[in-house]
A and B are shown apart, each in its own frame.
Chain A
Amino acid sequence: MKRRAFIRAGCACGAALLPALTRAQEWQPPPRFTRPEVASDEGGLWAMMDREETRLRRSPFNLRDPQLRSYVQDMACRLGGEHCPDIRVHLVRTPYFNASMAPNGMMQVWSGLMLRVDNEAQLAAVLGHEIGHYLSRHSVERLRDAKSRAAFSSFIGMFGLVGALGQLGMMAGMFAYSRDHERDADRVGVMLMSKSGYNAAEASKVWANLLAETKARPGGAQENAFFATHPAQEEREATLAELARAYPGGDANEKAWQQKTAPFLREWLGDEVRRGQHEESLVLLTRALGRGSQQTEYLYARGEVYRLRGAQGDLESSLADFKAAAALGGEPPQTHRGLGLVHRARKELPDAKASFQRYLELEPQAPDALMIKTYLEELT
């Protein structure tokens, strides 16, 4: 009995010490990097990324808004610590969830990611992860690994079927190596988040939200874990939640994030709707509506997604969202075009006419004004 109590006490004590031990084994960031020799493999990689950055600076996809850029740059600086002067953030208008960081310090943050995070802390989780790759110099390690595997793979490829199987194994090994890097970057990212005053518990929510979207996509839940370069989203969510327990406290800064991104929301939502991934968009927009801010924009966007999907019951859902957006006020003028099109499809002609008229009142120079006028003539 005494022995059992002792073991129980020992376990309890161990569990209590675990977060402290995890923190004690904290990884320390390296000092600032110096530019590598041009002739080295790393120097070549930097030169390639420098060219890519020059191209990105000129790209029409580069979001050049100085306020938003400096806001995200400041976040990256807080996370990067003494590496701040070497990190250059570029915001890119692309409606997919992505961010990346090159070994020369160029960081790309896509608008699809910014649309999907609920607060600053969630964006910090992704930025911290990318900075984790940068500080651990994973790109260079991957380049060297790929080169050595390629050389060995060419050699074993000469041995017929056995060689081909070996090559397949080499490829799988490369992906597994990449997954290990992702796990490392997640761990470093959570640590950097916490050191910068962010709530580390928000990190796992990024993946939980993304997982909910992926699962909604037809056939989206099927992923090949063997060859995936990233750990499965479920695994990441669980691991990040576990890691965050060692770093309690911190802020999410939801209000600040919503305010800073409000001027871009309409454009990003338009890009999201155009993606045509209706099921994913519905999950995203319904979640965003739950936050309670910018309701009009999200209601209009969700109404458009329902209208464009056109499945059974979607016209009714679309109508409800458009009406709710219009009732709140400040709605995009296209809300009334949407209402007009839904009423027209439902043969509710007086309502269709009133909605089209309202659309043209609000947006007389709309690109589709001539088409809408034709509808009005038909409805008269």
Chain B
Amino acid sequence: MRIVLIALAAVLAGCTSVAKMETGDQTVGGRLAIHLAGPWNHVSGPGIGPAQTWTMEGLPVDQLLIYAGIKDGETIHQPDNSGKRKNFSFRADMQTEDVVAMFEGMLTRDGSVFKLVKLEPMSFGGQKGFRFEFSVTRKIDSVQLSGIGFGTVSKGELFAMLYAAPQLGFFGRHQGSVEQMARSAKLKM
């Protein structure tokens, strides 16, 4: 059993990688330029995407998802092919409320409970966009998460950032950094 666990850990370690995102200007997916006031961690590997996944405290404590040009019909998370869970896909004709509902659906696929706290207009990436605040009660461990999201739909593509972390301590610690990053965002067409 011990050998199996060690082998499994080795396989997982080999598959998932964490890269440091340095302070300064960064471009996500070649499409979304952002400025970082401090370093972040970029997690990549199988089962992650299409958003870039960043974290400060480590997954699953906090998670920043960055979408840089999701096209019409594209699923916004790793699809479930069993047909048991809904896959949420972006549509180019979505209104702001529909985009928020799509993220809401994605975050509650496991039975978690989502509550929209605020939805307001905000410029994102130099375009007319939106900002929303939310809370999530995570099904798996009942942890209360707070979150913020930013987004815009430009030429039929979705650009967005979504950050969620435990309400106690973690969210407040990194919210400012995420807000600053969102304000600095610029689309590269």
Give every chain B residue within 8 A of A367 (Cβ-Cβ).
116-119
Q: Are A275 and B108 in contact (CB under 8 A)?
A: yes
Cross-chain contact B83 with A218 (CB below 8 angstroms): yes
State whether A219 touches B83 (Cβ < 8 A): yes
Which residue from chain A places its CB closest to the CB of B108 in the assembled complex? A274
How far does the alpha carbon of A55 sit from the alpha carbon of B140 in the complex, in Å?
Answer: 12
Q: Tell whether, in the assembled complex, residue A274 and residue B118 are in contact, meaning their CB atoms are under 8 Å apart.
A: no
If A276-B88, A308-B98, A344-B95 touch, does A60 touch B117 (CB 8 Å cutoff)? no
Chain A residues with Cβ below 8 Å from B88 are: 276
**How many of chain A's residues have a CB under 8 angstroms from any CB in B?**
30
**What are the interface flags for A219-246 relative to B under an 8 Å C-beta threshold, 1 for contact and 0 otherwise?**
1101000000000000000000000000
Please indicate the chain A residues that have their CB under 8 angstroms from the CB of B111 in the complex: 61, 94-96
A275 touches B139 (CB 8 A): no
Q: Which residues of A contact B120 (CB under 8 A)?
A: 368, 370-371
- Tell me if B130 counts as interface (CB < 8 A to partner A): yes
Instruction: State which size class the interface on B falls in.
Output: 20 to 34
Q: Are B101 and A308 in contact (CB under 8 A)?
A: yes
Asked whether A14 is an interface residue with its Cβ less than 8 Å from the other chain, the reply is no
User: What's the minimum C-beta distance from A380 to chain B, rounded to whole angstroms?
Assistant: 15
Which interface residue of B101, B109, B113 has the most chain A CB atoms within 10 A? B113
Contacting pair B105 A94 (CB below 8 A): no
Compute how far the CA of A372 lies from the CA of B63 in the bound complex, rounded to whole angstroms.
Answer: 29
How far, in whole Å, are A217 and B87 apart by their CA atoms in the complex?
12
- The residues of B that contact A275 with a CB separation of less than 8 Å are 86, 105, 108
A76–B76 CA distance with the chains assembled, in angstroms: 42
Q: Which A residues touch B114, using CB under 8 A?
A: 274
CA distance A376 to B96 in the complex (A): 14
A59-B142, A60-B137 known; A217-B83 Cβ under 8 A: yes
Contact B98 A370 (CB under 8 A): no
Specify the chain B residue showing the minimal Cβ separation from A273. Answer: B101
Residues of the B chain whose Cβ atoms lie less than 8 Å from the Cβ of A337:
97
Interface set, chain B 71-94, CB cutoff 8 A to A: 83, 86, 88, 91, 93-94
The dominant DSSP class at the A interface is loop
With an 8 A cutoff between CB atoms, is B104 at the interface?
yes
Q: Does B121 contact A (CB under 8 A)?
A: yes
Q: How many A-B residue pairs have CB under 8 A?
A: 70
* 8 A Cβ contacts from A63-98 to B: 93-96
Of residues 50 through 88 on chain B, the ones whose CB sits less than 8 Å from some CB of chain A are: 83, 86, 88
Residues of B within 8 A of A308 (CB): 98, 101
- Min C-beta distance of B92 to chain A, whole Å: 11
Contact pattern, A 266-280, Cβ under 8 Å of B = 1, otherwise 0:
000001001111000
Instruction: Let me know if A38 is at the binding interface, CB within 8 A.
Output: no
* Contact residues in B for A60 (Cβ distance below 8 Å): 113, 137, 142, 144
Give B119-147 interface residues, CB cut-off 8 Å to A.
Answer: 119-121, 130, 137, 139, 142, 144
Can you name the residue of chain B whose Cβ is closest to the Cβ of A96? B111
A61 touches B142 (CB 8 A): yes
Q: In chain A between 29 and 84, which residues have their CB closer than 8 angstroms to a CB of chain B? A: 55, 58-61
Is A350 interfacial (CB 8 A cutoff)?
A: no
A341 within 8 A of B: yes
Are the C-beta atoms of B142 and A345 separated by less than 8 Å? no
Whole-angstrom CA separation of A367 from B133 in the bound complex: 9
Task: Please tell me if the beta carbons of B119 and A345 are within 8 angstroms of each other in the complex.
Answer: no
Whether A276 contacts B105 by the Cβ 8 Å rule is yes
Assess whether B130 is in contact with A94, with CB atoms less than 8 Å apart. no
Measured in the bound complex, the distance between the Cα atoms of B111 and A93 in whole Å is 8
A94→B86 contact, CB < 8 A: no
Known contacts A59-B142, A61-B139; A371/B130 CB under 8 A: yes
B120: nearest residue on chain A (CB-CB)?
A370
Chain B positions within 8 Å of A310 at CB level: 91, 93-94, 98
Note all chain A residues with C-beta closer than 8 A to B109.
276
Inside 8 A of B118's CB, which chain A residues have their CB? 367-368, 370
A25 within 8 Å of B (CB atoms): no
Residues of chain A contacted by B130 (CB below 8 angstroms)? 371
Q: What are 19 sample pairs from A and B whose C-beta atoms fall under 8 A apart? A: A61-B113, A93-B113, A94-B139, A217-B83, A271-B108, A274-B105, A274-B108, A274-B114, A275-B105, A275-B108, A310-B93, A345-B95, A367-B117, A367-B119, A368-B119, A370-B119, A371-B96, A371-B119, A374-B121
Q: Which 5 A-B pairs rank lowest in CB-CB distance, beginning with the nearest?
A: A219-B83, A370-B120, A368-B119, A276-B105, A276-B86
Given contacts A222-B83, A371-B120, could you give 11 more A-B pairs where the C-beta distance is less than 8 Å? Answer: A60-B142, A61-B139, A61-B142, A95-B111, A271-B113, A274-B104, A337-B97, A341-B95, A341-B98, A371-B121, A374-B121
Question: B residues bordering A, Cβ < 8 Å?
Answer: 83, 86, 88, 91, 93-98, 101, 104-105, 108-109, 111, 113-114, 116-121, 130, 137, 139, 142, 144
